[in-house]
């Protein structure tokens, strides 16, 4: 590959696949390099013959009516189902239908992008000081912190109000309050991309770790090493598109998965990297022999059972959020451990993670531990923080991150290009549709540079 219309895409996640398709469709010679032995990045659908639903270990939800996802899936007539069901909360040890969501919406709606940027916790302290220690307001503030840290896998003392407002505005444009699932799992979208890439003749080299990118305007030399290989090789191209997760871009040179750039990335690019953070979260999917929770009738539930439960919110120290597969009636429950809980779980053994998940669920539902163990069939998780090719869940903007995504997305000397959810400039960071959109944007930038 040595002519002036060759492009190497580093990273076979949603952004890299989407960009490669756009480039190949315009006659550009493209090669995808992926360090893992599979494509899909932080989309990882596990299929267990014993489970009637796909087990999502990475991305699960489609947030809103995002055309980047719906349009390609419609070409395949893929089945998509909207999330439905009841939200339950644990308050002071009692399980009741949630009543705090309107209060949280009111708090979030009072954020202002025209005021000086603050962290979310600083915003709460200034906007809702609560000198009288109103317990209802204190509860609403804690719930708002739980929502922000849970939904964004973010540190509430770091995430910026301006970034949160941009996220909310982006959600409003696509009915982001609605959530959907692909019936056959997110793997169906990746399979569609794979088939289209095969038809376009785009080679995808999995198990290929990029170690160094040496570049000058108009030419790139990429040092790669195959999995388990002691010998490196060099690929050349006119342009390179880097779609690596933020955590990998931030990793020190020499650590597994990290890339050395020669010359180094410009200072403004490094500054942008320092103003965005990689969120931490651990998700665990528990499969049971039956939907045992359907018959639970909480004392504070007004005579309702948990038959239609979709989400369960709490302030549990390990897994504060749980959800079911509603409206599909599968005997699975997914536990979500964001921020500090995710940090404590990362790097631990499978037994440790499963024990914490089961004990958390048992406490919240008030199910005897021995009974829960009898119902338990299998558990699944992937430690994204401990994965050298992701190093976290997804990105968020810190205080002062204004324009950081735009700076990170900007090409360098019309030679180095960047995509991935952390580079999305529309407020959709942390989402699959944001990643795909960034891939389309980067492809357009490359095509303009090649014209």
Distant-in-sequence contacts of 47-51, Cβ < 8 A, 24+ apart: 47/185, 47/187, 48/287, 48/378, 48/380, 50/287, 50/377, 50/378, 51/287, 51/330, 51/332, 51/378
Are 11 and 339 in contact by the 8 Å Cβ rule? The answer is: no
Strands (DSSP E) contained in 59-135 are 62-63, 80-82, 86-91, 94-97
The answer for residues whose C-beta is within 8 angstroms of residue 226's C-beta and 6 or more apart is 207, 208, 209
Q: Which residues pair with 261 in a beta bridge?
A: 213
Pick from 386, 367, 364: nearest CA to 376:
367
Task: Return d(Cα 42, Cα 152) in angstroms, integer.
Answer: 15
Strands 376-381, 309-313: parallel, antiparallel or unpaired by DSSP?
A: unpaired
DSSP 8-class letter at 35? S
Tell me, what's the pLDDT at 130? 86
| pLDDT tier for residue 2 given thresholds of 50, 70 and 90 | very low
Q: What is the pTM of this model?
A: 0.96
Instruction: Tell me the CB-side half-sphere exposure of residue 343, using CA atoms within 13 A.
Output: 9
Q: Are residues 231 and 376 in the same domain?
A: no
268: in domain: yes
Q: Are residues 160 and 299 in the same domain?
A: no
95: in domain: no
Looking at every residue in the chain, the average pLDDT score rounds to 95
Which of the residue ranges 41-45, 77-81, 90-94, 346-350 would you say has the lowest mean pLDDT? Answer: 90-94
Tell me, what's the pLDDT at 99? 84
90: in domain: no
Tell me, what's the pLDDT at 3? 66
The pLDDT of residue 228 is above 90: no
Which of the residue ranges 224-228, 281-285, 307-311, 352-356 would you say has the lowest mean pLDDT? Answer: 224-228
How many CB atoms sit inside 10 A of residue 246's CB? 24
Q: Are residues 161 and 241 in the same domain?
A: no
DSSP 8-class letter at 117? P
Identify the domain boundary among 359, 381, 403.
381
Q: Are residues 38 and 50 in the same domain?
A: no
Q: Are residues 372 and 308 in the same domain?
A: yes
Distances (CA, A) of 214 to 50, 203, 234, 259, 348: 48, 22, 10, 10, 37
In tens, the pLDDT along 20-64 reads 999 999 999 999 999 999 999 999 999 999 999 999 999 999 999
Q: Which residue has the tokens 């109000």?
A: 161
Determine the 3-state secondary structure of 153 from DSSP: coil
Q: Are residues 162 and 134 in the same domain?
A: yes
| Mean pLDDT along residues 111-131 | 94
Task: Return d(Cα 334, Cα 212) in angstroms, integer.
Answer: 38
Alpha helix locations (H) across 132-214?
Answer: 135-152, 161-173, 187-200
Percentage of residues in the chain having pLDDT higher than 90: 92
Identify the domain boundary among 381, 408, 438.
381
Q: What's the number of domains the chain is made of?
A: 3
Q: Are residues 131 and 199 in the same domain?
A: no
The pLDDT of residue 1 is above 70: no
3-state SS record for 279-346? CCEEEEEEEECCCHHHHCCCCCCCCCCCCCEEEEECCCCCCCEEECCCCCCCCEEEEEEEHHHHHHHC
Q: Are residues 232 and 304 in the same domain?
A: no
| Mean pLDDT along residues 103-109 | 92
181: in domain: no
Tell me, what's the pLDDT at 68? 97
Q: Are residues 274 and 414 in the same domain?
A: yes
371: in domain: yes
In tens, the pLDDT along 360-371 reads 999 999 999 999
Find the CATH number of the domain harbouring 33: 3.50.50.60
Are 409 and 442 in contact by the 8 Å Cβ rule? The answer is: yes
Burial of 103 (0-12, 13-18, 19+ CB in 10 A): middle
Domain with 33, as residue range(s), is 6-42+187-278+395-450
Tell me, what's the pLDDT at 103? 87
| The pair of three-digit structure tokens given for residue 178, joined into one six-digit string | 């609605």
390: in domain: no
DSSP 8-class letter at 116? P
Q: Which residue has the tokens 């998780």?
A: 381
Task: Return d(Cα 274, Cα 292) in angstroms, integer.
Answer: 46
Q: Are residues 25 and 37 in the same domain?
A: yes
342: in domain: yes
The pLDDT of residue 230 is above 90: no
220: in domain: yes
Identify the domain boundary among 151, 173, 195.
173
Tell me, what's the pLDDT at 220? 97
Q: Are residues 374 and 320 in the same domain?
A: yes
Q: Are residues 289 and 223 in the same domain?
A: no
């Amino acid at each position: 590959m040595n002519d002036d219309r060759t492009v190497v895409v580093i990273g076979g996640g949603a952004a890299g696949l989407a960009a490669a398709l756009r480039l190949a469709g315009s006659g550009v010679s493209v090669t995808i390099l992926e360090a893992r032995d599979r494509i899909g990045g932080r989309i990882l659908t596990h299929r267990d013959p014993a489970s009637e639903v796909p087990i999502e270990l990475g991305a699960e939800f489609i947030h809103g009516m995002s055309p980047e996802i719906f349009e390609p899936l419609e070409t395949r007539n893929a089945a998509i189902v909207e999330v439905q069901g009841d939200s339950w909360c644990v308050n002071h040890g009692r399980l009741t239908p949630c009543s705090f969501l309107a209060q949280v919406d009111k708090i979030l709606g009072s954020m202002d992008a025209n005021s000086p940027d603050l962290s979310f916790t600083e915003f709460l302290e200034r906007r809702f000081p609560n000198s009288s220690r109103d317990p209802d307001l204190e509860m609403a503030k804690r719930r708002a912190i739980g929502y922000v840290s849970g939904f964004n896998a973010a540190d509430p003392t770091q995430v910026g109000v301006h970034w949160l407002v941009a996220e909310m505005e982006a959600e409003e444009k696509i009915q982001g309050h609605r959530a959907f699932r692909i019936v056959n799992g997110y793997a169906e979208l990746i399979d569609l991309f794979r088939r289209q890439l095969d038809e376009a003749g785009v080679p995808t080299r999995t198990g290929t770790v990029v170690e160094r990118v040496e570049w000058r305007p108009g030419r790139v030399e990429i040092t790669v090493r195959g999995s388990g290989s002691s010998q490196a090789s060099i690929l050349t191209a006119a342009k390179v598109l880097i779609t690596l997760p933020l955590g990998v871009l931030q990793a020190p040179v020499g650590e597994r998965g990290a890339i050395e750039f020669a010359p180094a990335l410009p200072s403004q690019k490094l500054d942008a990297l320092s103003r965005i953070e990689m969120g931490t979260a651990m998700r665990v999917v528990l499969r049971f022999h039956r939907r045992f929770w359907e018959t639970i009738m909480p004392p504070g539930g007004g005579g309702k059972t948990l038959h239609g439960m979709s989400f369960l919110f709490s302030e549990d120290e390990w897994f504060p959020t749980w959800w079911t597969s509603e409206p599909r009636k599968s005997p699975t429950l997914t536990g979500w451990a964001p921020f500090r809980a995710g940090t404590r779980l990362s790097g631990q053994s499978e037994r440790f993670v499963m024990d914490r998940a089961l004990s958390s669920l048992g406490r919240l539902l008030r199910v005897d531990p021995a009974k829960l163990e009898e119902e338990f069939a299998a558990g699944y998780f992937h430690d994204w923080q401990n994965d050298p090719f992701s190093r976290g869940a997804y990105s968020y903007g810190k205080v002062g991150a204004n324009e950081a995504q735009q700076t990170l997305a900007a090409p360098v000397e019309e030679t180095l290009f960047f995509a991935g959810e952390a580079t999305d400039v529309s407020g959709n960071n942390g989402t699959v549709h944001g990643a795909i959109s960034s891939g389309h944007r980067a492809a357009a930038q490359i095509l303009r540079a090649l014209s």
